[in-house]
Structure 1
Amino acid sequence: MLSLGVRQLDDILGGGVEEGSSVAFVGSIEYDNVILMHQAVLEALKAGKRVLVVDFRQPPSTLLKELRNHGIDYEPFLDDSLTILDGYSNLYGQGIQGGRNVLPNPLDLGITTAIIREALQGDEYDILVIDDVTSQYTLQSSPKIYIKAVVRLVNSVKSLGKTTFVAVCSDVFEKSDLAAILIPFDYVVEVSKGVVEVKRSLQPLRVVEPKFAYMRTRNGISPMKEHYQSLEGLKAQLRAGENGTIWLKDLRVQILEEVTERSLIETVYDFLGPEKGKELLYTWGKKQFIGYGEYSKRHNTSIEEALEDIFKFTIASGGGKLELVELSDSVIIIRGTNLFPSGKGYPYPFHPNYAGSLAQFLTEFTGERWEGEETKCEAMGAEHCEFVLRKVR
């Protein structure tokens, strides 16, 4: 399997794409699809694959600069495992450009495809990359003939046992032409308007909804959830609104001091007593997590993976460190340290809301009822907090 350079996308596909397959990266005029395609290429180069890139969209020097701005550096691989064929200069440059890696007449489909196929005949390359097919499409006097040439090229490369990555800008193609040019591809990955979605796959997909939100960053295309799992990501999402508001992307938030939350918990216990107080805090935690499990089960493949996402966000948001101690079909034990709020010498547990949130999450994720309890708490003198969650039969 070949990784596409983004773990969440690889997980959806069950590890990546099959070697020897063809992958279309479809996008719009922002060219996020192109960035993701080159992330996949860089991952392949790091894995020791040999790559031929055919660049129709811009001069190779400009391509290299564009990719460096998104954390993709091809320089260490040039003239070794990476070759870039210049399909741009003899379309737009002054005079005829010569050279070993310059296509003489990119608009001549017969010559261009013959040069590409000949380069792929031996063992010199494992992967063909076309950036992109849209540039040529706009210049053709007969787009239908061009589409046929692309389809034949992709299928002939596949017959050689080589992998093909192709970028396609869907905004430019006529609807019927777009459908036609995508016919030979085993995988179609759409990358546009902040969402990556797998539209076609050789193998069964691992999740119910094979898509996720992303951001375009200095490190390329990055899943949005990763930005909520690191302090730097959260800082990038924070903004001050008008009239005394603070927003975490589209969610209004408030900076909360530890003493404030601690006094709230102590007040609940003082007012309701230990049992009713614990019950209220537990129910409060459940209420906070309504919907999280339903969302997660559409995008994660296992309980362990889903819980790890929660643990990462808890650390990033200052809630403390959670880790999985035991996982079985009926019992899950989670350890917590430095949970928010902290306390010392208190007679009752401080974090029943964590137990309620985890129970609500597991109930939604599994479709079976779970209940939980904080059995140890640092505020009561324990070395760490501990949550025991049990499936209710």
Structure 2
Amino acid sequence: MLSLGVRQLDEVLGGGVEEGSSIAFVGSIEYDNIILMHQAVMEALKAGKKVLIVDFRQPPPTLLKELKNHGIDYRPFLNDSLTILDGYSNLYGQTVQSGENILPNPLDLGITTAIIKEKLQKGNYDILVIDDLTSQYTLQSNPKSYIKAIVRLTNSVKSLGKFTFVALYADVFDKSSLATILIPFDYVIEVSREVVEIKRSPKPLRVIEPRFSYIRTNRGIRLKKELYQSLEGLKAQLQAGKNGTIWIKDLKTHRIQIREEETERSLIETVYDFLEFEKGKELLYVWGKKQFIGYGEYSKRHSTDIKEALEDLFKFTMASGGGKLELVELSDSVVIIRGIDLFPSGRGYPYPLHPNYAGALAQFLTEFTGEHWEGEETKCEAMGAEHCEFVLRKVK
């Protein structure tokens, strides 16, 4: 299996893409599909693969400069495991260019595809990359002949047991041409308008909804879910508003407030003071459930493994300052979770300070499994225990 360089996509695909596959990265005007494709190429180079890139979109030096802005630096691999064929200069240059890695007449499809196949075999490359199919398509007097040539080239590369990566801008192709040019591709991955979606895979996918929100960064295409699982990623997304508010940049409904532990603890203590223990704990528990409405449903669309889903939730909790959660026991009817340094922390209080965590975890499990769960904080650091503990049980 070959990694695409994005952990969550690899997991959904069962570890990556299969050897000798053809992958089409379909995008729109922002060209984020091209960035993701080159991220996958970079991952392949790091894994020891030998790569031939055919560049029709811009001069190779410009391509290298553009990709470096997104954390993709091909220079250490050039003339060793990476070769770039220049298919641009003789399309648009004022004079005819010549050289070992310059295509003499890119518009002559017969000669061009013959040169590519010969170079691929003689150089013993593992992967053919075409950046991109759209620029050539727009220049063809007979687009149908071009599509047939691409289909033949892709299938011939596949017959050699080698990978083919291509990028294309879907909006330029009419509906039938787009469907035809995608015929030989085993995987079709659409990267457009801040969503990555796996549209085709030769194997069943591990999730119900293979769609993931992303942002473009100086480290390439990053899935939002992964960004919010680290403190650095979360901090990078915070943005101060002019009116004194703080927002997560790409989630317009998520407003953030920095809270002191003393203030949070005072709020919880006030709930207990006014409602007394049992009713106060019940209110805090329901508060936690309400805060987590929708989280389990979202996770269920992107993961089928409950352990994996809980561990992702724990990463988000730690990154957002909630403390450390660890899975102690997992069965069909009981889940036990340990908490360390949960927010708010403190010692010397007679009641548990984190019933809202128990409610949130119960809500998450209920949505993820489709069965009813209830939970309780059975140990709390505030009451003198070494750690907090949450016991969640399935309710029949």
TM range (shorter): over 0.9
1:183-212 CA deviation, whole Å, 9 max, x = no partner?
A: 111110000000000111110011000110
Task: Say whether residues 1:350 and 2:360 are aligned partners.
Answer: no
Counterpart of 2:169? 169
Counterpart of 1:78? 78
Counterpart of 1:136? 136
* One-letter code aligned to 1:283: V
* One-letter code aligned to 1:287: K
Task: Say whether residues 1:254 and 2:257 are aligned partners.
Answer: yes
Give the total of aligned pairs.
393
* One-letter code aligned to 2:214: Y
Structure 1 stretch displaced more, 94-103 or 34-43: 94-103
Structure 1 stretch displaced more, 378-387 or 35-44: 378-387
1:60-98 CA deviation, whole Å, 9 max, x = no partner?
A: 111111111111111121111111111111112232211
Query: Could you tell me which of 360, 368, 384 is aligned with 2:371?
Result: 368
Task: Say whether residues 1:283 and 2:266 are aligned partners.
Answer: no
1:236-270 CA deviation, whole Å, 9 max, x = no partner?
A: 33233354433223122322221111011111111
Task: Say whether residues 1:339 and 2:377 are aligned partners.
Answer: no
Distance 1:299 1:272, change over 3 A: same
Helix, strand or coil: the match of 2:18? coil
C-alpha distance in 2 between matches for 1:316 and 1:233: 9
Helix, strand or coil: the match of 2:171? coil
List, as ranges, runs of 4+ consecutive aligned residues in structure 1 with deviation greater than 6 Å: none
Structure 1 stretch displaced more, 267-276 or 373-382: 267-276
1:127-165 CA deviation, whole Å, 9 max, x = no partner?
A: 110000111011111111111111111111111111100
For 1:1-393, what aligned pairs fall within 5 Å after superposition? 1-121=1-121, 124-248=124-248, 249-250=251-252, 251-393=254-396
Helix, strand or coil: the match of 1:70? coil
C-alpha distance in 1 between matches for 2:85 and 2:244: 55
Structure 1 stretch displaced more, 297-306 or 245-254: 245-254
Helix, strand or coil: the match of 1:270? helix
Deviation at 1:279, TM superposition (A): 1.4
Deviation at 1:392, TM superposition (A): 2.0
C-alpha distance in 2 between matches for 1:71 and 1:243: 34
TM-score, length of structure 2 as denominator length: 0.96
Helix, strand or coil: the match of 1:298? helix
Helix, strand or coil: the match of 1:138? helix
C-alpha distance in 2 between matches for 1:5 and 1:185: 19
Q: Could you tell me the percent identity over the aligned residues?
A: 81
Helix, strand or coil: the match of 1:80? coil
C-alpha distance in 1 between matches for 2:124 and 2:154: 18
C-alpha distance in 1 between matches for 2:359 and 2:305: 20
C-alpha distance in 1 between matches for 2:163 and 2:62: 25
1:209-249 CA deviation, whole Å, 9 max, x = no partner?
A: 01100000000000011222222322333233354433223
C-alpha distance in 1 between matches for 2:165 and 2:294: 37
Deviation at 1:283, TM superposition (A): 1.3
Deviation at 1:292, TM superposition (A): 1.0
C-alpha distance in 2 between matches for 1:302 and 1:30: 34
Structure 1 stretch displaced more, 32-41 or 239-248: 239-248
* One-letter code aligned to 1:111: I
Gap regions ≥5 residues in structure 2: none
C-alpha distance in 2 between matches for 1:259 and 1:167: 53
Helix, strand or coil: the match of 2:25? strand
Helix, strand or coil: the match of 1:207? coil
| Two-structure CA RMSD over aligned residues (Å) | 1.3
C-alpha distance in 1 between matches for 2:21 and 2:299: 30
Helix, strand or coil: the match of 1:339? coil
